[in-house]
Amino acid sequence: MYDWLLFDLDGTLSNTEEGVTKSFQYALVSMGVKCEDREPLKKYIGPPLMESFSEYFDHDGCLRAVGFFRERYETKGIKECELFPGIAEMLAAAKESGKMTAVATSKPEKFAKKVLEDFGIDKYIDVLSGALDDSSTKTDVVNTALKRAGIENDRERAIMIGDRKYDVEGATACGIDTLGVYYGFAEPGELERAGAKYVLDTVDELTGFVRAKSLAEIEKYLAKEN
């Protein structure tokens, strides 16, 4: 039975499509890359920025691009987001069921803290672990979350909940189970290919999962198992 729920932020708790894609577009254009359509940029919601920009630039170019991204994101992009419908209620249900909660995100920790506070859901979060610098990986932030939660030696108590393969792969590298959600930004089949133990489609299903008090109840809400 999982008593620690680790949540990704972008694409899992919050819909950051507008802010992230517009800031990514701004960075590309600032670096001389033509980019009129933001739709293909949705795949960059979630992974570390250095990894995403590496598809366009060398290491030094990536650093410059990250700087341009942050230039816009810090002033405009961070405000261009919203919670997915039902997320606040899902987190409240988790706490009412006695679960402990953490956010493990590749977003810089100071930005993640502001997002949680602005939406008023910080009261539901026991531990926050975000990227401390641009070299932080998803594995790094998950490991830090486990340490801050005091369960680095009891990892079977935790499950990572995220919407992208990076969440699944990073958590798996940390030795914890994973639950993928498809209401975020994953492409069809992405979570299964990454090795997610369980997959859900909706926030309502996730709410059912966090309310579960036994493994038998959990199976009712975990729609697919690899």
Catalytic residue (choose from 8, 10, 140, 167): 8
Task: State yes or no: is 126 an active-site residue.
Answer: no
CA distances from residue 95 to 35, 126, 180 in whole angstroms, order as listed: 43, 10, 20
Q: Which of 150, 145, 152 has the alpha carbon at shortest distance from 160?
A: 145
Q: Which residues pair with 14 in a beta bridge?
A: 10, 83
Please name the residues in contact with 188: beta carbons below 8 A apart, sequence gap of 6 or more: none
CA distances from residue 38 to 44, 50, 210 in whole angstroms, order as listed: 11, 19, 34
**CA angle in degrees (0–180, nearest 5) for 218-224-226:** 110
Residues catalogued as catalytic? 8
